[in-house]
Amino acid sequence: MIWQLDLSILSLIVVCAFATIMVKDLLSAAIIFGAYSFLMCLLWTEMGAVDVAFTEASVGAGVSTVLFIAAVHQTSRRVTPRKSGRLLSKVIGLVAALLMGLVLIIAEADFPGFASPFSPASLHLSPYYITQTLHDTNVPNIVTSVLADYRGFDTMFETAVIFTAGLAVIAILRRYKKDDSTEIPEPYTISEGYPDTIIRFVARQLVPFIQLFALYVVAHGHHSPGGGFQGGVIIGASFILLAISFDTRMIIGLMSEKSNILLGNIGVLIYAGIGFLCLLLGANFLDYSILSKVLPATDKVMARSHGMLGIEIGVAIAVMAIVISIYINIVSCGKYDKDV
């Protein structure tokens, strides 16, 4: 930790945050938000939280910026000036916000001091993880083992949250009927891709490497920063790169709506299924050590490592499918390739 670096990055982050809110042009706001995410990623790397930084770089700065820009492209770059509401509603809003802040401040007083070495978390929990993880699970990357094993239940519902987000986008945007009277924003075209030889060539050369790297991130998440979320997002991003440089229809041909939803389901099912397999074998939900009964040539410690790998693969499949499905739904106004 170098505090001068921390301070400068933090002040830049605050500037970016304000700029994102103040800028009137939505495209600029999306791009500044991407810069904000990269700065957050730098800050986390600087603090030593490489896994979180990796997630922020791939999800926050990479894919969500692309999704924002796609949404802006389909709608409007301008902020519509909001009609000033009535005074009463403004006062009610202000009072509610102040009350909420007051409650939070009161609750904060009961917390242990910020980064206090005597808080229960740093007295009992963290030392246990740091000293026992390698012995318990044979996984050198503590973050992965906490995320996927000790706190596997949390991560399962995180995956479920992403899955639900994908379902929500489909439920809101997707048009099934021909006579859907909902208005389509004016400059509606399914991107035919931009016929540019250089961009297409480079994209075609890079995509295999990107996907190989994503598989490495998923499979090597135990030993180095990375894991299911990051790997899944990177595979999804490689498909989005193809969709941008070539043609959206090509991606729909590769990953149809049906296979997307199926893969998303399968991913979440792999995660929950491994949990239920543990139940069936007579242990607690997501207690992977019991898997040594079914996996050949593994003892209880290695079984936990393999169980983590299994759920990481499930997470990666789910995240990849959901990212692609959200992107296609946004760029095609929910119509996929059909000209409704």
Partner 1 sequence: MDIIVIIFTLTGLIFFFATTVGLLRFPDFYSRMHAAGKGDTLSSLIMLLALVFYNFHEFNLANLLVALKILLIGIFIFMASPTATHAIIDAGYESDIKPWTKKPEEES
Question: By C-alpha distance, which of 336, 166, 331 is closest to 264?
Answer: 166
Closest separation between CB of residue 92 and partner 1, Å?
45
Nearer to partner 1, 239 or 336 (CB): 239
User: Which run of H or of E encompasses 37?
Assistant: helix 26-47
Task: Please count the residues of this chain forming the interface with partner 1, following the rule CB under 8 A.
Answer: 8
Could you say which residues in the range 251-280 bind partner 1, by CB under 8 A?
Answer: none
How far apart, in whole angstroms, are the C-alpha atoms of residue 55 and residue 210? Answer: 16
Could you say which residues in the range 172-211 bind partner 1, by CB under 8 A?
Answer: 194, 196, 198-199, 202, 205-206, 209
Report yes or no: 290 and 281 within 8 Å, Cβ to Cβ: yes
Name the DSSP letter for residue 112: P
Nearer to partner 1, 245 or 292 (CB): 245
Site pattern 209..238 for partner 1 (x: CB under 8 A): x-----------------------------
Nearer to partner 1, 10 or 199 (CB): 199
How far apart, in whole angstroms, are the C-alpha atoms of residue 173 and residue 189? Answer: 15
Closest separation between CB of residue 202 and partner 1, Å?
4
Closest separation between CB of residue 237 and partner 1, Å?
13
Report yes or no: 215 and 313 within 8 Å, Cβ to Cβ: no
Residues 6 or more apart in contact with residue 194 via CB below 8 angstroms = 245
Q: Which region, left, alpha or beta, applies to residue 249 given φ > 0 means left and ψ of -120 to 50 means alpha?
A: alpha
Number of C-alpha atoms within 13 angstroms, CB side, residue 111? 10
Nearer to partner 1, 196 or 299 (CB): 196
Closest separation between CB of residue 73 and partner 1, Å?
12
User: Which run of H or of E encompasses 159?
Assistant: helix 152-173
Closest separation between CB of residue 42 and partner 1, Å?
15
Closest separation between CB of residue 205 and partner 1, Å?
7
Instruction: Give the footprint of partner 1 on this chain (CB under 8 A).
Output: 194, 196, 198-199, 202, 205-206, 209
